[in-house]
Structure 1
Amino acid sequence: MKIAIAYYSQHHGNTKKLLDAINVTDDVKLINVVECKEADLSDYDVIGFASGIYFGKFSDKVIQFAKSNLPSDKQVFLINTYGVKGNYTKEMQKIIAEKSCQLLGIYGCRGFDTFGPFKLVGGIAKEHPDENDVNGAIEFFRKIIEDEKQVYS
């Protein structure tokens, strides 16, 4: 099974920390959308999108990458890190639906955040993603892959 994850993780590396842990457990193609604007994802069985949350949504770079590169009829999952818990995946879910893809799941956890007023207090969620957050991302990913392997068997 071929798996790709397109991601944006620039400020504190919160999202990349989760992806590095996932990538140790499985062979996954990580695509940094800052370095790669276009990619042929048609050969991948499962495609993930991962981002920190910026202004209440996934990074604009991930959103644009998904709009331009996500093929139709794919299995998709989302991973995000945030300072404050909320529902930040609406725009990504809309793109997934427009491309007739199936959303397999969403994983989100806190990540160190120093945006705006949080900078004045030294940031929030300073220890995140922590070991529990990383293990949660690994388990989320393993479950998706296990479920998909059963489909392909």
Structure 2
Amino acid sequence: MKTVIIYASVHHNNTKKIVDVIADEYGVDIIDAAKITEKDLSGYDLIGFASGIYFGKMHQAVINFAEVNLPEDMDVFLICTYGGKPVFDSIKGIIKEKQGRIVGEFSCKGYDTFGPFKLIGGISKGHPDKNDLDNAKAFFKGLCKNRNL
């Protein structure tokens, strides 16, 4: 199964840590949406979108990438790191418009120093931690198992 994860990881590389551990363990391709805005994804069997949560939505670079590049009728999984709570609504609409299927969601806390959190030294310090990374690998392994791969 050929898989790609399109991600944006801006402040503390929380999301990149999750993406990298999956890519290293399972040979998944990765694309940094903040650097690459267009890519033909038609050769992939499974597409992931990953981001931190910014003002209640995924990073705009990931949303823009999905709008422009997500092929019709694809299986998609979602990953986010967050300081407050996981939110995927911003990208789910795009996937639905393109008749995609969401086959899994993974989220975990990520170190957050945005706005007022900076004044108190941030929240969710130390995350994603080893347990979060192990859970991310288990999530992806489960996706593969559920797809009989």
- Pick the TM interval, shorter chain: over 0.9
Look up the match of 2:83.
83
Match for residue 35 of structure 1? 35
SS in 1 for 2:91: helix
Shift of residue 51, structure 1, vs aligned partner: 0.2
State the identity %: 50
* TM alignment of 1:114-153, pairs within 5 A: 114-149=113-148
Partner of 1:104: 103
Give the secondary-structure state (helix, strand or coil) at the position aligned to 1:7. Answer: strand
- State the 1:6 CA deviation: 0.3
TM-score (norm 2): 0.97
Tell me if 1:73 matches 2:89: no
Kindly provide the CA deviation profile for residues 97-118 of structure 1, in whole angstroms up to 9, marking residues without a partner as x. 1110110011010000000000
In structure 2, distance between residues paired with 1:12 and 1:65: 21
CA distance, structure 1, for counterparts of residue 47 and residue 17 of structure 2: 18
The structural deviation recorded for 1:84 is: 1.3
Cα distance, 1:13 vs structure 2 = 0.4
TM-score (norm 1): 0.94
- Measure how far apart 1:34 and its partner are: 1.3
In structure 1, C-alpha distance between the alignment counterparts of 2:59 and 2:96, rounded to whole Å: 18
Secondary structure of the structure 2 residue equivalent to 1:52: strand
Superposition CA RMSD, Å: 0.9
The structural deviation recorded for 1:149 is 3.1
Moved over 4 A (4+): none
Write the distance in 1 (CA, Å) between the matches of 2:100 and 2:93.
10
5 Å matches for 1:8-19? 8-19=8-19
Q: Structure 2: 5+ residue runs without aligned partners?
A: none
Summarize deviations over 1:107-151 as a string: whole Å, max 9, x none.
Answer: 01000000000000010001100111111111111111122235x
- 2:15 corresponds to which letter in structure 1? T
Equivalent position SS for 1:12: coil
Partner SS state of residue 123, structure 2: coil
Structure 1 alignment gaps of length 5 or more: none
The corresponding residue for 2:61 is: 61
Letter in 2 for 1:124: I
Structure 1 residue 25: deviation in Å? 1.1
Residue number in structure 2 paired with 1:22? 22
SS at match of 1:118: helix
